[in-house]
Amino acid sequence: MLGVQALVVDKKINSRSRPFICNKMFQTAVRRRVATLKQRFAETLPEIRERLTKVKKEQGSKVIGTVTIEQLIGGMRGVTGLLTETSRLDAYKGIKFRGLSLPECQVRLPSAKREPLPEAIFYLLLTGEVPSNEQVEELRNDLIERARGLPEHTKTIINDLPKDMHPMTQLSIGVLSLQTGSHFAKAYSRGIKKNDYWEYAYEDAMDLVARIPEIAARIYRNKYKDGQIAEVDPNLDMGANFSRQLGWEDIDFWELMRLYLTIHCDHEGGNVSAHATHLVGSALSDPFYSYSAGLNGLAGPLHGLANQECLRFLLSCQEKVGENPSEEEVEHFVKEVLESGQVVPGYGHAVLRVTDPRFVCQMDFAKRVMPEDKLCKVVRKMYRVVPRVLKEQGKTKNPYPNVDAHSGALLMHFGMKEFDFYTALFGVSRALGCMASYVWDRALLLPIERPGSVTIENLEEFAQKQ
């Protein structure tokens, strides 16, 4: 929980007050006392650069794994080939952000109520340190200032896009339109030292993280509502501001948004959105080019788009067998989906081999905040049925639910029914992890990425020689 100066606990607030209210004197004190996130990053950098140089020099020739022909053909599953500082995914324990599991983040990171503040998780991803309330407050102020600088041309571009364009296409365009303000691109063309790349990358990354919520909210308001959008409130955190700009004043929804922004923010380096951002960035394309590419990957149905597919799947189950289906009816429905050759959305994972802890966090939230919600009850029935059915089918390496199996039902509960928008929410969250990693990539002076490739003929020849 944040300190009393910074927070009015939500039990005491009425509908006009906010669960994250900062006292002006406290803010001023924060500005005087606390090192900025950038300063803190700069302080930690020399030691980390030294460790990387040492491990490269002393251990550089050691073998970390091998690549089989099956892995080469099979999307490089299980091939460790990336350096990502921000998080690590364990097949059996799930995601750890800088060594902290999701439940640990919920306990240890500053919060407005219960769920971590998005600013706090971003601080953790960037520095590896659990921030104090004051550090989060300093970062929050910085992001608010930057959010207010959303360029006019970005607003115009979004307003002019066809309303029937998918939100992810719009989000990618919106992020790309920020590129005109890239500090990194300008500094690079002026000529800067490699050691200083990260400073400009940092400025861009912060601008992107600060501005992407309003871009997404504008897309939502234009496409589905009246096009009007609330101003950023300087007294609120990112989760609350984003919710308000989307049109939600319900503080339970603000908490859901904080949870949502936390659980989707990062999933180590190899997932499509993080990897695409990293790859494009390795060519020294600036953060806007890079994350726009990451968003294009997130838009795929096997990655981020699975959350909208999942909701469609849950609703069609209800449509077919009623709002409150029995487990037998759910089982029958799932088997029909599989027999028709489709995958069960929200189930399976390329790395995880257990129930995704991000699913568990959402299920806990649903049980606490909306215990009687019918759709959430269907989600829980699916959880009891689908793993067994997928195990019987025998193909899927991981028959358990992933993050996308629950998120749509939670959003539906609060009246966000436009499920083709859901992946855009994911995109706002994933910006936190991808941008933290982008800054590290430049800070650690990582080179352009350029793996080798072979032809089928090469593979055949290689196999014969072996």
Please tell me whether residue 76 binds ligand HAX under the rule CB under 6 A.
no
Identify the residue among 304, 325, 357, 387 touching ligand HAX (CB under 6 A).
Answer: 304
Please measure the distance between the N-terminal and C-terminal CA atoms of the chain and give it in whole angstroms: 60
| CB of 177 or CB of 398, closer to ligand HAX | 398
Judge whether 299 and 172 are in contact, CB under 8 Å: yes
- Interface residue with ligand HAX, options 83, 302, 454, 459 (CB under 6 A): 302
Closest listed residue to residue 312, CA positions, set 406, 223, 416, 419: 419
φ/ψ of 13, rounded to 5, equals -90, 150
Q: Does 428 bind ligand HAX (CB under 6 A)?
A: no
| Dihedral (Cα; 173, 177, 178, 182), 10-degree rounding | 120
CA torsion 387→388→391→396, rounded to 10°?
-20
- Work out whether 442 is an interface residue with ligand HAX (CB under 6 A): no
Look at residues 93, 428, 21 and name the one whose alpha carbon lies nearest to residue 262: 428
Residue choice 350, 428, 434, 436 for contact with ligand HAX (CB under 6 A): 350
Q: Is 354 in the site for ligand HAX (CB under 6 A)?
A: no
Choices 92-100, 195-203, 241-249, 336-344 (CB under 6 A): range interacting with ligand HAX: 336-344
CB neighbourhood size of 312 (10 A): 14
Residue 347 within binding range of ligand HAX, rule CB under 6 A: yes
Stretch that binds ligand HAX, among 12-20, 29-37, 217-225, 400-408 (CB under 6 A): 400-408
Under rule CB under 6 A, residue 395 binds ligand HAX: yes
Residue 292 sits in the site that holds ligand HAX (CB under 6 A): no
Bridge partners, residue 87, by sequence: 97
Q: Which two tokens stand for residue 250?
A: 């319900």
Candidates 2-10, 173-181, 360-368, 392-400: pick the segment binding ligand HAX (CB under 6 A).
Answer: 392-400
Q: Is 427 in the site for ligand HAX (CB under 6 A)?
A: no
Helix 133-147, helix 118-127: angle, nearest 10 = 100
332 is catalytic: no
Q: Which of 171, 122, 141, 167 is nearest to 295 (CA)?
A: 171
Of 26, 305, 344, 372, nearest to 166 (Cα)? 305
State the minimum distance, in angstroms, from the CB of residue 296 to ligand HAX: 14
Question: Residue from 96, 98, 275, 349 that binds ligand HAX (CB under 6 A)?
Answer: 349
With contacts defined by CB under 6 A, name the span among 99-107, 151-159, 344-352, 359-367 that binds ligand HAX: 344-352
User: In 3D, which of 325, 315, 413 has the Cα closest to residue 370?
Assistant: 413
| Contact criterion met (CB below 8 Å) for 82 and 270 | yes
Total residues in contact with ligand HAX, by rule CB under 6 A? 21
Q: Which of 267, 275, 349, 406 is catalytic?
A: 349
Q: How far is the CB of 259 from ligand HAX (least distance, A)?
A: 16
Interface region with ligand HAX, contact rule CB under 6 A, candidates 4-12, 168-176, 398-406, 414-422: 398-406
Q: Is 356 a catalytic residue?
A: no
Q: Per rule CB under 6 A, is residue 396 in the interface with ligand HAX?
A: yes
Contact between residue 299 and residue 168 where contact means Cβ atoms under 8 Å apart: yes
Q: Which entry of 404, 406, 413, 441 is annotated as an active-site residue?
A: 404
Determine if 358 is a binding residue for ligand HAX (CB under 6 A).
no
CA dist 147 and 431 (Å) reads 14
Cα separation, 180 vs 55, in Å, equals 38
Residue spans of beta strands (DSSP E) within 389-465: none
297 part of the interface to ligand HAX, by CB under 6 A = no
What residues act catalytically?
A: 303, 349, 404
Binding residues for ligand HAX, per CB under 6 A?
271, 302-304, 306, 338, 343-350, 395-398, 402-404
